[in-house]
Amino acid sequence: MPESPPGIHHVTCITGDVQKNVDFYVGVLGLRFIKKTVNFDVPDTYHLYFADYLGTPGTAMTFFGWPHLPWGPQGTGQVLTVAFAVPEGSLGAWSQRLSRAGLEVEPVRRFGAEALMLRDPDQIELALVGDARDDRWVPWAESPVPEAEQIRGFHSITLNLRQAEPSARFLTETFGFVQDDTDGARTRYRTGAGGPGALVDVLESPAGRQGEETTGTVHHVAWRARDDAHELDWRESLVTAGRSVTPVIERKYFRSIYFREPGGVLFEIATDQPGFTVDEPPEALGSALQLPPQYEDRRENLKFNLPPIVVPTVEKLTSGGAV
């Protein structure tokens, strides 16, 4: 078995309203809008990225803008909760901030850590967990959230499954994860060095409704590969284990393979390189529409069909009385 993935690379969801999406993830959660591009497979629609200052692997929450799809609740065979890591002492400030934004917030405690549960404009379930590390995170000085309270990246994701056992066996016997702890119907697994950014919870929901690909759901979760060789090792290992795995696909900012774990959740393995500065310098990330080379000849038509997006700035948020 290859070296286990170091942790989460990115999480990709589906939004029905790209402007509300940008307003929330930048204006409320304080993430940086680092990339405006198109879905490489459906190029007439957006793919938006929010992360730390540089888009460090493990910090990027991304969205397909697919308003043509109906809205639907998250179900089994999908990621149920995306949890972000925040400094332990910041949850009080976050609770106040989210309440000022008109959001319903539920305090919970899981596996010894305090957290706040909330939902984004598409009703995707999120959590802010007071358990974070700063070793790889790069702060964004212009965030509307003070640096001491900013999201440090992902903490964990929760898989919502009809049957936990096949996925648990896959995680531990095939994918290099280790079981960490259990709390009722929820079991936590860790990869790499463990800790924030390297955790997955498996929640067994035998009576749960089967999830569908709709707005308001998580499309896939990507796990990190340190480099191309690491990814290829994993592809060979997964194919040998009987998984149906795509060839390596060039995604401009990383290279990817895709497969479904036994419970039906779409997994990706994405390389840490080359990163989001391949087509924009760090100070200009997210400032212009970026296209893969195969779509450059369609740039003007795509710009006409894609709705305009206004990215909140600290000045706009302050003058508008926002959070």
Distance between start and end Cα atoms, the chain: 47
| Mean pLDDT, the chain, integer | 95
Backbone angles phi, psi at 47, to 5 degrees: -130, 115
pLDDT at position 234 is 98
Where do the DSSP E strands lie in the chain? Answer: 8-15, 32-38, 46-51, 60-65, 78-86, 106-110, 113-119, 125-130, 153-161, 178-183, 186-190, 199-204, 218-225, 249-250, 255-260, 266-271
Query: For residue range 17-46, what is the model confidence (pLDDT) as tens digits?
Result: 999 999 999 999 999 999 999 999 888 999
Q: Is residue 137 domain-resident?
A: yes
Q: pLDDT of 72-104, one tens digit each?
A: 999 999 999 999 999 999 999 999 999 999 999
Q: Does 1 map to a domain?
A: no
Average pLDDT over residues 261-288: 97
pLDDT at 318: 45
Which CATH number characterizes residue 127's domain? 3.10.180.10
CA pair distance 101, 161, nearest whole angstrom: 32
Whether 320 shows a pLDDT value over 70: the answer reads: no
- The helix (run of H) or strand (run of E) holding residue 170 is helix 164-173
- Structure token digits, residue 283: 């100070």
Q: The tokens of 278 are what?
A: 């391949």
Residue at 23 is within a domain: yes
Q: Residue 232 sits in which domain range?
A: 8-319
For 126-164, the pLDDT digits (tens) are 999 999 999 999 999 999 999 999 999 999 999 999 999
Total number of domains constituting the chain: 1
User: How much is the pLDDT for 313?
Assistant: 72
Judged by average pLDDT, the poorest of 63-67, 279-283, 305-309 is 305-309
Strands (E), 143-260: 153-161, 178-183, 186-190, 199-204, 218-225, 249-250, 255-260
**Residue 277, domain member (yes or no):** yes
Starting at the edge strand found earlier in the chain, the sheet holding 60-65 runs 32-38, 46-51, 60-65, 8-15, 218-225, 266-271, 255-260, 249-250
CA atoms of 133 and 130, how far apart (whole Å): 10
Residues 6+ apart with CB under 8 A from 308: none
Beta carbons of 285 and 278 less than 8 angstroms apart: no
Between strands 113-119 and 186-190, the pairing is: unpaired
Decide if pLDDT at 247 tops 70. yes
String of DSSP letters for 132-160: ---SS----TT-SS-GGGS--EEEEEEEE
Looking at the domain assignment, is residue 293 inside a domain?
yes
Instruction: Measure CA 268 to chain center.
Output: 12
In a domain, 91, yes or no: yes
In a domain, 3, yes or no: no
Q: What average pLDDT does the segment 189-198 reach?
A: 97
